[in-house]
Amino acid sequence: MRLSLTMIVKNEEDVLARALSTAAVYADEIVIVDTGSTDKTAEIARRFTDKVFSFPWVDDFSAARNYAVAKSTGDYWIWLDADDVVTLECARKILKIKDALDGKTDIIMLPYVLDRDETGRPLFSYYRERIIRRAPQFMWKGRVHEAIELKGTVVKKAPYILHAKPSERTSGTRNLDIYKKMAAEGEVFTPRDYYYYARELFYSGDMSAAEKAFRKFIDLPGGFSVNKVDACIMLSRCYVKLGDTLSAKRALFESFTFGIPTGEACCEIGIRFLSENDYQSAIYWFKRAHSVKPDIKSGAFIDTDCYGFIPFVWLTVCYDRLGDIENAYRYHLRAKKLRPDHPSVINNDRYFSGILK
């Protein structure tokens, strides 16, 4: 089975070579679709492939990605963004996956890592459809935050793709502008659209509009339960910023109606009680957070720190404020074991060095 790498790019001269550096390990073909670059993106792309095409940008990510798929010829195709990274180790693992393809598997999902700790350990990730069998039913949908509908035989594998956007880059308002254009044109939003529209509003700073959009998504029938849980957490953050702390807590507890309490939700509840100086209640929820096991195959956004490091740091604070230095120090040592070079750990080390003397 042949595997094609498909990418859409625009003004990516600073990262494109990095993304393509290991592509030859696993891809039989590389297809690059440029949506209007004014820098050396196309020139860099041609160092890796002669299949470089132009596509006029029409405010539709799916249209551009489907054009790239149409230009590819593999039995399966894999997609990357220009600021993604595939380590050599993961590239070799993807090659093994490719070599085992037999046409019976429809979609292979791989972890998408969005953040790492000081040592490079993945912190924040979720599964995404990554390797897709060539078939008419597997096409990108959605003008923004596009996705492939999961159907047929879907399996999850271990090698991850690292999203490594340069720190100086800003996301801008492109995604939000597309959603606003869709609304102005009367386009019907799917539950997924409402979910990501709400997130874009939140990160743009429009808390009132984000609160309404998250509420709309949560109340809609349909939509993934893991997205509903995250929406409740995000809704809670909206209320905090709007000064409504009671509604913030209620939104977090509402997340339990969509599944087993997650470490992320328990941490947020703990922080809410901590902000009210209710240390005993905060301790209860932080302990619940680190006792939960993350469901890494659920498709949810997984913040690994919420299942260990973050609860340990806040338990250190809670016990210290209660005057229980012994337990405070015990949880500090647990946090230190996980992330010894984190600024909070370093500061707490100095603190305990002083008082323990």
**Per-residue pLDDT tens digits for 112-127:** 999 988 888 888 899 9
**Residue 311 pLDDT:** 98
User: What pLDDT does 116 receive?
Assistant: 85
**122-133 and 76-80: which strand pairing?**
antiparallel
- Are the C-beta atoms of 13 and 41 separated by less than 8 Å? yes
Please identify which residue in the block is written with the tokens 């039989």. 28
* d(C-alpha 20, C-alpha 43), whole Å: 13
Which range is most confident: 23-27, 115-119, 293-297? 23-27
Judge contact between 191 and 177, C-beta under 8 A. no
> Hey, what are 101's tokens?
């393809």
Average pLDDT, the chain: 96
Contact between residue 155 and residue 108 where contact means Cβ atoms under 8 Å apart: yes
Specify burial of residue 2 (Cβ count, 10 A radius: 0-12, 13-18, 19+).
middle
> How many beta carbons lie within 10 A of that of residue 20, not counting itself?
22
148-157: pLDDT as tens digits:
999 999 999 9
**Residue keyed to tokens 């993604």:** 84
pLDDT score of 343: 95
Collapsed DSSP state (helix, strand, coil) of residue 171: coil
Percentage of residues of the chain with pLDDT beyond 70: 99
21-38 average pLDDT score: 98
- Phi and psi angles of residue 139, each rounded to the nearest 5 degrees, phi first: -125, 150
What pTM does this model have? 0.91
pLDDT of residue 135: 97
Residue 190 pLDDT more than 70? Answer: yes
Rounded CA gap, 144 and 48, in Å? Answer: 27
* pLDDT, position 108: 98
**Average pLDDT in the 242-260 region?**
97
Q: Look at residue 65 and tell me whether its pLDDT is greater than 70.
A: yes
Instruction: Please list the residues that pair with 84 across neighbouring strands.
Output: 163
- Is 33's pLDDT higher than 90? yes
Residue 352, C-beta contacts closer than 8 angstroms, at least 6 positions apart: 328, 329, 332
CA dihedral sign of residues 193, 233, 314, 259: negative
Contacts of 23 (CB under 8 A, 6+ apart): 5, 30, 48, 86, 91
Picking from 56, 72, 206, 172, the residue whose alpha carbon sits closest to that of residue 132 is 72
Contact 112, 163 (CB under 8 A): yes
Q: What percent of the chain has pLDDT over 90?
A: 92
pLDDT at 298 over 90: no
Mean pLDDT of 214-232: 96
DSSP string covering 57-117, please? --S-HHHHHHHHHHH---SEEEEE-TTEE--HHHHHHHHHHHHT--S---EEEEEEEEEE-
Distance of alpha carbon 4 from the chain centroid: 24
H-helix or E-strand spanning residue 32: strand 29-34
State the residue for tokens 């002669």: 50
What is the mean pLDDT of the segment spanning 319-339? 97
pLDDT (0 to 100) of residue 29: 98
Q: With beta carbons less than 8 A apart as the criterion, state whether 192 and 203 touch.
A: no
Q: In the predicted model, is pLDDT for residue 259 greater than 90?
A: yes
Strands 52-54 and 29-34: parallel
List of residues 6+ apart from 188 with CB closer than 8 A: none
Q: Pick the residue with more confidence: 165 or 180?
A: 180
State the pLDDT at residue 299: 86
pLDDT, residue 357, reads 66
**C-alpha 179 chain-centroid distance:** 19
